[in-house]
Amino acid sequence: MINEKYCRVLELDKILTRLSELTCCETARQRALSLKPNDNLSIVKDETAKTNDAFLLSAHFGTPVFTKMDDPSEHLKLAQVGGILTPRAILNIAAVLKQARTLLEWYEQCANVQNTLKPVFSMLMANRPLEKRIASVFISEEEVSDTASDTLMSIRRKIRSAGSRIRETLDKMIRSSTYQKALQENLVTMRDGRYVLPVKAEYKSTVSGLVHDTSSSGATLFIEPMAVVEANNEIRVLQSQEKAEIERILAELSALCGEQADVIASDFETVIALNLYFAKARLAEQMNAVLPRITEDGQIVLNRARHPLIAKEKVVPITLSLGQSYRSLVVTGPNTGGKTVTLKTIGLLTLMTMCGLLVPVSDHSTISIFKKILVDIGDEQSIAQNLSTFSAHMTNIVSILNEADGHSLVLVDELGSGTDPVEGAALAQSILTELFQKGAIVAATTHYAELKVYALETEGVENASCEFDVKTLQPTYRLMIGTPGRSNAFEISRRLGISETVLSRASSLVESDKKSFEDVIDRLESSRQENEEKNRELTAQIKALKEERESLRTANHDAIIQKEQIIEQARKEASRIVDAVKLDANLIMDELQKLRREKEKEDFIRRTGEAKSQLRGKLDKLSDQANPVVKRSNEGYVLPRPLKKGDTVLIVDIDKTATVLELPDKSGNVLVQAGIMKTRVPVSNLRLDEKAKKPKLNGASIRTISSNKGAKTARGMMELDLRGQTVEEALMELDMFISRSLLSHIEQVTIIHGKGTGALRSAVHDYLKHCKQVKTFRLGVYGEGETGVTIVTFK
């Protein structure tokens, strides 16, 4: 179990507070606040997988709605032993039942999607009859419905009838001239649940009846006239019957709840568990968090990790690794440069993972779980304990050294600070060595140059630095692995106005070996910045090459589609010609057969000659139809001017429009492009078309067939792609598509309209609503295209 003190230092409690604010009720909030890091690998993997699946299901199907409810366990125990529950307690149980039912209904839409939450949802047990019975009884916590039972409805009907009779009698008295002078006001009121009249005190004898109350001044008496006493008594009796009936109904409902107490309690626990998973998913969405690879081998690989408590617009991502080629990381750099944030990011993301939360890192990150996470961050000075800053830190370090082992993550800030620098550096180096020998994974920050040298010289220990821009005197908060940081004290002082005399004297006081070490670090930093600049240039070049390759791939893909379309069109045309030839050949054969039967007749020779002539003519005609190239004469045509690149010309013998790509060669042949085909044609076979618009020759294929038509050819009659069209064009295309589908007896089709602004989808849906042939239509689900498509079923 991780020490709670270390969890507070790393601010896990603040993350759990944010999580609790996303829960639905007090019970779930307390569960969120009480989450503890778990060091069992299988449990951590299972919990994070469920959180990740809750995130994915929410992204695809929307987050299920959770309502506020109280823990019903105590009330259920009372119901089990025969106690009568209050309306509020029964309505809370109904809320639990409704929540379980709505969660099951929500999960039905994603039940076919493989996910780890299925066993949790399967624990829910809906009880629709009990839920409906409770809903039929109560209007609110204070009011029971008339329809709760036939007896209650009858009693209340009698109460209303008796009340009407009383008001009718009292209204007559109010309107009567006999009583008007005696009344303080012309109205009927109630005292102690009985109907009374406000009578002036001096006219008490005028209205015979029972006095129930007086005004504060004593000037008004509230008298129940004798004429309505019996009716008021009847109402009192009926009200007692009403109360008894309500008690009976509550007892009945309480007994039903008691019978299902275990199931209802289980439902509540499952609802709270699901609410917590989906709250974790919502927190992950807010943090832009993902599921890392989880191990227990001590490896931590953070790619673009962000501290979750720093505002998104301010946080600077860090990338680092621990536990692979090195197990100890020494982070150096100026104050306020981000060293402490780096340690807290490592520790907090590890704790979050162990609590089943997703973490704000990029893909391919790895987080290891640990049996112990030991932390010394911040000033633990205590006046009450008479401890200095150094003593407080050393007290923590002693505890850490006693506990650390091969399953520990140790995070130490400003190791060895607060005492003599020479002794502090030596002590810090010895502590790092001890932790390294114990097998712990260590990240420590320091200002000591001796520790930078130690990290350079010791295998398994690595330097890191928080970058600082001397020009602006501002930290960049970037973590640089493999490079020790500089103090930058002289440069910062110079920028702030310290004289060169003072700086020169200070520089001369620095030991030569330390000065040489700082110079080495300076040269390393310059080399690193130069390499980074080259890397940025190479990255930009690679990006440009990738974009060019993608453009060529797209152009090639378009050319292949166009080629397939032309081949398909040619195949259809050839099929049509063959069918026509077969038809005419059959007619000719029929004619010859007929002539053969008539060969004995006198006019056989004449008919034979006529048939031969007809046959010859038809064969010549069929030959012309089957020949795709018709020789046309360009005789007598002279080009009005020399051809230029980009001119639109007509290839006369095949009657095709083309674009000039190259000027005539020595042989008088011109390279032209017709569709996707390039060929050389004699100048004499070309005519210039000066009226046509010149196409742009940018190296890409000239597209002659729209992508929508190509998509239809590939997908046949089952889909219609309307993307990129105006509403008017799309509706015209949709109308023709539905007609073709009905003629082909297709029962279901898919309309692809895309997501976009939703205007095209709305127009399509409005059209389908008024189409008599459409039986049903709906938006696609996951795997069908979701809101980008509409599935249509015909009658």
Amino acid residing at 479:
L
Helix (H, G, I), strand (E, B) or coil at 662: strand
CB 521 within 8 A of CB 486: yes
Q: How far apart are CA 196 and CA 189, in angstroms?
A: 6
| DSSP β-bridge partners for residue 368 | 295
Please state at what angle helix 87-108 crosses helix 261-287, rounded to 10 degrees: 60
Does 339 belong to an annotated binding site? yes
Does 640 belong to an annotated binding site? no
Largest interatomic CA distance in the chain = 145
Q: How far apart are CA 697 and CA 674, in angstroms?
A: 13
Residue from 463, 19, 486, 86 nearest 280 by CA: 19
Does 27 belong to an annotated binding site? no
DSSP notation for 557-596: HHHHHHHHHHHHHHHHHHHHHHHHHHHHHHHHHHHHHHHH
Does 336 belong to an annotated binding site? yes
| DSSP β-bridge partners for residue 673 | 659, 678
Phi, psi of 373 (to 5 degrees): -125, 115
Helix (H, G, I), strand (E, B) or coil at 139: coil
Token digits of residue 784: 């069908």
Residues 6+ apart with CB under 8 A from 195: 163, 166, 167, 170, 188, 189, 224, 228, 232
Q: How far apart are CA 583 and CA 572, in angstroms?
A: 17
Do the strands 719-721 and 748-752 form a parallel or antiparallel pair, or are they unpaired?
Answer: parallel
| DSSP β-bridge partners for residue 294 | 367
Q: How far apart are CA 31 and CA 70, in angstroms?
A: 13
Token digits of residue 534: 């080259």
Does 783 belong to an annotated binding site? no
Radius of gyration of the chain (CA): 45
Do the strands 669-674 and 677-682 form a parallel or antiparallel pair, or are they unpaired?
Answer: antiparallel
**Positions of E strands within 457-570:** 461-469, 474-481
Residue from 188, 229, 478 nearest 331 by CA: 478
Neighbours of 413 (CB within 10 A): 22
Do the strands 328-332 and 461-469 form a parallel or antiparallel pair, or are they unpaired?
Answer: parallel
H or E element, residue 197? strand 194-200
Helix (H, G, I), strand (E, B) or coil at 111: coil
Does 460 belong to an annotated binding site? no
Does 335 belong to an annotated binding site? yes
CB 650 within 8 A of CB 686: yes
CB 749 within 8 A of CB 792: yes
Helix (H, G, I), strand (E, B) or coil at 220: strand
Does 333 belong to an annotated binding site? yes
Q: Residues marked as binding? A: 333-340
Q: Residues marked as binding for ATP? A: 333-340
